[in-house]
């Protein structure tokens, strides 16, 4: 550390200042804004982020912080057992599932930051201790898994990206943070809850004449436990249900992005969030295992429309990410085939995750925050056989009808990315009022790197 310890300053940086002064700041050292009234070419070479800087941003994005409190009611029918994890991160997560995985991409390598469920249970306490001791680089090294050498990227051209971002994306000296939603565990866990006797929701398929989505035998009108009378307000379409899942997971991505913005502000770095929502462009670039589905199947077209589509030569193959594998090791696997032999096996794996011998509410309860985890374990009842069977029937219907799960979104989804870089103060001084930069940005290079940016060799001044 420098004599003027930047980490000590960061510890004391006021939250209210970070909230007031956080901005998207795009122009980094070594960059060029090619045209228009803000056209400018930096006089300085780019400066990559140091490992310690990346480590702090990674911790802000999704660092492991300790047990989730899970202060819920665990009596039957009270919903507490919807929890599917007991470890917290710097961002909130529905049911403590931690459905967002974060990739860190720089010029040298691409890393995946492991989620709590990707660690052995006995490792969690060590990771929490590293964070408590401000050992962020050690935590970063323990948490990251190399995925690729160098810097992959989705293409810049539309529709992979938007025109507004093309000049600034993929700064050679910047570090790129990409959250990826893994939707299937959140989806199946939620369905187990809404198909329980207490809620008793019923799902119909809006693309198949609103027929029951595999749930006919569970309908209350046929002696089952699910409320299929629409007047009760418990009937959903597949799209309704899946929209809830994708929105819930996307909110978690938003918290990742907000934390990155606040940390960048506190450290004095530049950074900005941007659109990264192409359905497969980024996943393909990251090396995900890919498959294709005919467009007619991907879109769930009726048989006549699918036939017409093929006849007109428009039934094109659509890429679909399945999972992330490397050297025979599975890094990200959704709860669906090919990583489970069937949707029934996937549903039962979710139940096992929570109520198996080492599950969240059995042996795993000792990792929770409670003084008496055995009391919670004894009170936490698994889903009823009827709820499990209904979930299996529904998930199997979606898989067989649409050839994928979920039926609308891919199992993995990107929405936003965040690029962090060292700012070129001269650009902002030339075109902006002084308040465009806070003291942290103006002082970052001196405090964190011990100097001012070097001049780029043989580069003319950057007039418009």
Continuous H helices in 312-438: 343-355, 373-379, 385-402, 425-431
**CATH class, 6-449 region:** alpha beta
- When pLDDT is averaged across residues 315-329 and rounded to a whole number, the result is 93
Q: Report whether pLDDT(359) > 90.
A: yes
- When pLDDT is averaged across residues 36-52 and rounded to a whole number, the result is 96
Strand, helix or coil at 149? Answer: strand
**pLDDT for 99:** 94
Q: Report whether pLDDT(305) > 90.
A: no
**pLDDT for 437:** 97
Q: Report whether pLDDT(462) > 50.
A: no
Q: 401-449: per-residue pLDDT in tens? A: 999 999 998 999 999 999 999 999 999 999 999 999 999 999 999 999 9
C-alpha distances in angstroms, 416 versus 7, 53, 270, 277? 28, 21, 17, 6
For all residues of the chain together, what is the average pLDDT?
94
Tokens 């093929």, located at residue: 310
DSSP per position, 221-285: GGTSSB---GGGT-EEEHHHHHHHHHHHHHHHHHHHHHHHHHHHHHHT-EEEEEE---SSHHHHH
Q: Which residue has the higher pLDDT, 303 or 321?
A: 321
Inter-residue contact 341 to 349 (CB < 8 Å): no
**pLDDT for 457:** 56
pLDDT tier for residue 461 given thresholds of 50, 70 and 90: very low
Tokens 């300790």, located at residue: 66
Element (H, E) at 17: helix 15-21
CA dihedral 340, 345, 349, 352 (to 10 degrees): -150
**pLDDT for 456:** 61
CA-CA distance, 442 to 452, in Å (whole number)?
10
CA-CA distance, 65 to 86, in Å (whole number)?
11
Percent of the chain residues past pLDDT 90, beyond the cut: 88
Residues 6+ apart with CB under 8 A from 449: 47, 50
Q: Report whether pLDDT(463) > 50.
A: no
- When pLDDT is averaged across residues 29-45 and rounded to a whole number, the result is 96
**pLDDT for 459:** 41
CA dihedral 148, 154, 155, 160 (to 10 degrees): 170
Rounded CA Rg of the chain: 25
- When pLDDT is averaged across residues 280-297 and rounded to a whole number, the result is 94
Q: Which of 80, 71, 154 is nearest to 110 (CA)?
A: 154
Q: Report whether pLDDT(3) > 60.
A: no
DSSP per position, 73-125: --STTSSGGG----EEESS--GGG---EEEEEE-SSEEEEEPPGGGS-GGGHH
In the DSSP assignment, the letter for residue 405 is: S
- When pLDDT is averaged across residues 34-50 and rounded to a whole number, the result is 96
Inter-residue contact 79 to 384 (CB < 8 Å): no
CA-CA distance, 101 to 177, in Å (whole number)?
10
In the DSSP assignment, the letter for residue 219 is: B
CA dihedral 418, 420, 423, 427 (to 10 degrees): -30
Report CA torsion sign: 22, 23, 26, 29. Answer: negative
Query: Could you tell me whether strands 64-67 and 329-332 are parallel, antiparallel, or unpaired per DSSP bridges?
Result: unpaired
Q: 172-185: per-residue pLDDT in tens? A: 999 999 999 999 99
Strand, helix or coil at 11? Answer: helix
pLDDT tier for residue 455 given thresholds of 50, 70 and 90: confident
User: In 80-114, which positions are buried (b, 16+ CB within 10 angstroms) versus exposed (e)?
Assistant: bbbbbbbbbbbbebbbbbbbbbbbbbbeeebbbbb
Inter-residue contact 332 to 101 (CB < 8 Å): yes
Q: 112-171: per-residue pLDDT in tens? A: 999 999 999 999 999 999 999 999 999 999 999 999 999 999 999 999 999 999 999 999
pTM of the model: 0.94
Element (H, E) at 297: helix 295-298
**pLDDT for 4:** 62
Percent of the chain residues past pLDDT 70, beyond the cut: 97
């Amino acid at each position: 550390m420098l004599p003027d310890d930047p980490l000590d300053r960061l510890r004391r940086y006021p939250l209210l200042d970070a909230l007031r002064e956080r901005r998207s700041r795009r122009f980094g050292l070594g960059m060029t804004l090619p045209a228009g009234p803000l056209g400018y070419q930096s006089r300085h070479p780019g400066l990559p982020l140091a490992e310690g800087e990346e480590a702090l941003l990674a911790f802000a994005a999704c660092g492991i912080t300790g047990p989730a409190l899970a202060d819920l009611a665990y009596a039957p029918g009270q919903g507490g057992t919807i929890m599917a994890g007991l470890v917290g991160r710097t961002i909130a997560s529905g049911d403590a599932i931690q459905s967002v995985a974060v990739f860190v991409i720089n010029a040298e390598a691409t890393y995946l930051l492991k989620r709590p469920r990707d660690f052995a249970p006995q490792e969690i306490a060590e990771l929490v201790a590293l964070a408590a001791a401000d050992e962020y680089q050690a935590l970063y090294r323990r948490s990251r898994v190399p995925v690729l050498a160098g810097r992959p990227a989705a293409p810049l051209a539309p529709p992979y990206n938007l025109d507004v971002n093309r000049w600034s994306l993929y700064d050679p000296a910047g570090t790129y943070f990409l959250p990826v939603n893994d939707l299937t565990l959140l989806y199946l866990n939620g369905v187990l809850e809404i198909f329980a006797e207490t809620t008793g929701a019923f799902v119909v398929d809006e693309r198949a004449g609103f027929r029951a989505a595999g749930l006919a035998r569970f309908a209350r009108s046929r002696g089952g436990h699910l409320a299929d009378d629409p007047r009760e307000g418990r009937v959903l379409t597949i799209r309704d249900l899946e929209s809830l899942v994708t929105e819930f997971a996307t909110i978690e991505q938003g918290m990742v992005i907000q934390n990155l913005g606040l940390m960048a502000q506190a450290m004095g770095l530049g950074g900005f969030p941007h659109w990264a929502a192409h359905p497969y462009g980024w996943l393909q670039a990251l090396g995900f295992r890919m498959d294709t589905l005919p467009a007619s199947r991907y879109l769930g077209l009726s048989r006549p429309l699918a036939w017409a589509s093929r006849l007109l030569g428009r039934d094109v193959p659509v890429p679909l990410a399945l999972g992330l594998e490397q050297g025979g090791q599975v890094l990200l696997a959704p709860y669906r085939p090919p990583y489970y032999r069937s949707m029934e096996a996937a549903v039962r794996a979710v139940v096992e995750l929570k109520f198996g011998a080492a599950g969240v509410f059995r042996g795993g309860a000792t990792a929770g925050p409670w003084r008496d985890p055995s009391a919670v374990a004894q009170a936490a009842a698994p889903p009823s056989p009827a709820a499990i069977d209904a979930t299996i029937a529904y998930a199997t219907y979606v898989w067989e009808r649409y050839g994928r799960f979920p039926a609308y979104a891919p199992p993995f989804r990107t929405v936003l990315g965040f690029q962090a870089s060292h700012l070129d103060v001269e650009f902002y001084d030339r075109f902006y009022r002084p308040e465009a930069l806070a003291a942290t940005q103006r002082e970052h290079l001196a405090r964190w790197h011990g100097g001012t940016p070097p001049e780029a060799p043989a580069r003319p001044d950057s007039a418009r």
